[in-house]
Structure 1
Amino acid sequence: MAMPIQTHTHTPARAAPAGAEGSGGYRSALTLLASLFFMWGFITVINNTLLPHLRSVFDLSYTQTTLIESVWFIAYFFASIPSAKLIERVGYQRAMVFGLGLMAVGALMMVPAARLPSYGVTLVALFVIASGITLLQVAANPYVAVVGPPETASARLNLVQAFNSAGATLAPLFGGYLILGRSTSGTAVAGSTAVLTPAERLADAQSVVLPYLIVAAVLVVLAVVIARFPLPAMGAATQRSAKADRKGLSLWSHRNLVLGIPAIFIYLIAEIGVANLFINFVSQPQIGNLTHEQASHYLFILWGGMMVGRLIGSVVMRTIPAERVLALASIGAFLVMLIATFTTGHVAMWALISVGLFHSIMFPTIFTLGIRGLGPLTEEGSGLLIMAIAGGALVIVQGWLADTYGLQISFLLTAACELYILFYALWGSRVTDALPDPVAVH
């Protein structure tokens, strides 16, 4: 979906800088943006290996463990609007640099959190990292959507999101080796009830120092590269439309947006619930009977499935309507979640792994369907959809279900989420009160 250009006023749109209008300039920009998608996918999924580690270090319940991820996604709720205002004030490029710097600060905060060790400081550090990622999300998703024709926006965003999945795919190997593989709890035999000694607990806590120092260094380097890169300015296409253009228009008359906001919110509950509890689930004796370190290798396959699915989706959606692909994916996800819930052994384990393939196209597809037909309201609609990522905070509900009814039964919540996505694909995504599409930027 292209962002709006001011077509209702007599003031001409500002042209992009010289050389920016060629496809080569934007291809270079998309390549650089792909590195941002890669990094925030990588850092987000490190949490999937960090959470079972922290559960052992701090002796947490499932509810307390998922609270860590809830704090991560609460940042999306609080940081989305300030991020949009910062972008409007300083521009996309400087905002991206600021976001990377904020993430680096949060990564460095994990060092004192590990040395103390402190559950509270860990929560604050992760909130800071997530706030930086929120800023990148608010900037990069609409930026990608505007480059090209509206009808291929879903395919284009799925393609770039594949780099997000590539980062997510490598993160479990990184975290498994440098965090779980270097800790007593991470290499413990499946089903072991041994309690860590104070010395072991402190040593395990400090195993996160090196990984986050590496992450901070990479983020600083990437920030310097982006600061010096001649990123094409999108001109008026990324500027907030004049108030006169939006006068009398309402976001709430667009069904695809109104129902798309809860669709993003609910989808995040499903994705984050699976990812965060995956290692604990497949490590169980009746499922995979693995150590946490071994289980992280299978998490690599789950995120790899998301990467493959997005690459396939970017091709398929050039010929098949995005809403039809989304409907088929939601049906597949619902079925494999039922299998994961009601079977045991490798059948249940591989069913949970396969949900990554079906989840792959959901976020970028819902996002582009949600902003379709918004015209000059596209920027505001995009901000609301990004804010809905805060739905991942409700993963704590699945943590409570796991504590109360059992970890395996808790995945019925995920199955229920898939049904709403199916409803959105079949009916909720239909455009109402469509506004004229703005001129696409090529």
Structure 2
Amino acid sequence: MNNKNNYLGPLLIIGVLFFVMGFVTWVNGTLITFFKKAFGLDNTSSYLVTFAFFISYTVMAIPSSMVLKKTGFKNGMSLGLLIMALGTLIFIPAAEMASYALFLVGLFTIGIGLTLLQTASNPYVTILGPRDSAAQRISIMGIANKSAGIISQVVIGSLLLSGVAATDPIEELDKVTVPYLILTAILIGLALLIRMSKGMVEVSEEEEEKPTTGLTEPVVEKTSVFQFPNLVLGVIALFCYVGVEVIAGDTIINYGVSLGFPEEEARLFGTYTLAGMMFGYLLGIVLIPKYVSQQAYLIFCSVLGIVVTIAAIFSTGFTSVLCIAILGFANAVIWPALWPLALSGLGKFTKIASAFLVMGISGGAILPLVYGGLADSIGSTQQAYWLMVPLYLFMLYFGFIGHKKKSW
């Protein structure tokens, strides 16, 4: 971008996109509980919701990078929104047919659109200004994302989880029809808005190759993204991070129900996690990079995650639920801190590197499924949270050592 001081307009548009991404992502916690009840699923089967949604990031990340090379960031975002609209539209016949498999296809399709949107929007935000304040800008995007998540869980949760469940599964599933038709219309409208917007300035490959700060020296001799240890380790750290983020946000409603809380009360537990994340993002905006570096905040959040997870395992009742919610605060700034550290010095490899990082989001597909399997096998949704401790430990390693590695 020729003048990086003029990025407030594009950031506002990207903020709207992050709001939309948050709305369709964080409603999954509500859908898990809703489908579990409507279809009579066990824990493992219910978490196929997150698997179908997030596994698309692994399948489509590299193809999304190829698409962006043809379309550019702006048109890629518009295309991503249209694919998401197709996915939300699939919910309508899925409800009429009472088909859990078709709902999963819809979620997978939404995930494909989100993959393209994430692959375009995250590096766009990172490049759109000084690299050392990238975490601050992504934190602002995170506030938009999580505020949408709170709204989606309150609104969709009140529609799907409130009141007496219908005895007929098809009648119960019909509850998704109106909200997902509205969501489809909104996604199509946003796709057209992005396509026609003159505020979204395209970033050229040449500009991506230029270092934006003095954090690292430009690396010109490397020929592959796999020659950047900070990227490879960053992908693994992101896999771990998205896993713990989704587990904390999407299992808490089921966890509350398993502890004996009424569904009417437990449906709001996910909003506590998202509120914690929003507070963490706000704190990150204030502290990064003026008072605390991106990597220092990453280390702090990883340590806090370990401590609070163990506290959740050894406490009882609402205290334990509250600890899972506090993980939202612990997780908040890990995502915005990981991206710039992992992309540091990538230059012309930024788009393909971003695609690999997006593949790391598949942690949200696999790790909640592992959590559900553990919960079923050991008979405890609480003890299954031990899964998160080694994940936080790897993020701690990346914050201390991994991001500094410039060669193998």
Aligned partner letter, 2:143:
A
Check conservation: 1:183, 1:204, Cα contact below 8 A: no
**Matching residue within 247, 260, 266 for 1:273:** 247
The residue number in structure 2 matching 1:226 is 194
Alignment of 1:111-122 (within 5 A): 111-122=92-103
Check conservation: 2:208, 2:347, Cα contact below 8 A: no
Aligned partner letter, 1:400:
G
Alignment of 1:27-426 (within 5 A): 27-181=8-162, 184=165, 197=167, 199=168, 201-237=169-205, 248-285=222-259, 289-319=260-290, 320-394=292-366, 395-405=368-378, 406-426=380-400
Check conservation: 1:77, 1:387, Cα contact below 8 A: yes
State the distance in 2 between where 1:211 and 1:183 align. 19
The residue number in structure 1 matching 2:213 is none
Whose Rg is larger? 1
Check conservation: 2:280, 2:330, Cα contact below 8 A: yes
Check conservation: 2:4, 2:129, Cα contact below 8 A: no
State the distance in 2 between where 1:238 and 1:384 align. 21
Q: Measured at CA, do residues 349 and 46 of structure 1 come closer, stay the same or move farther in structure 2, by a change above 3 Å?
A: same
State the distance in 2 between where 1:124 and 1:422 align. 35
Post-superposition offset of 1:174? 1.4
State the distance in 2 between where 1:284 and 1:234 align. 49
- Percent of paired sites with the same residue: 30
Post-superposition offset of 1:305? 1.2
Aligned partner letter, 1:380:
I
- What SS does the corresponding residue of 1:346 show, helix, strand or coil? helix
State the distance in 2 between where 1:229 and 1:415 align. 44
Post-superposition offset of 1:40? 0.7
Post-superposition offset of 1:76? 0.4
**Matching residue within 405, 410, 432 for 2:406:** 432
Check conservation: 2:61, 2:116, Cα contact below 8 A: yes
The residue number in structure 1 matching 2:216 is none
Post-superposition offset of 1:235? 4.0
State the distance in 2 between where 1:298 and 1:60 align. 21
Aligned partner letter, 2:326:
S
TM-score w.r.t. structure 2 length? 0.92
Q: Which runs of 5+ in 2 are unaligned?
A: 211-218
Query: What are the Cα deviations for residues 388-432 of structure 1, in whole angstroms up to 9, with x where unaligned?
Result: 111111121111001011111111101221111111111111142
Check conservation: 1:183, 1:203, Cα contact below 8 A: no
Aligned partner letter, 2:181:
L
Check conservation: 1:260, 1:385, Cα contact below 8 A: yes
Post-superposition offset of 1:116? 0.9
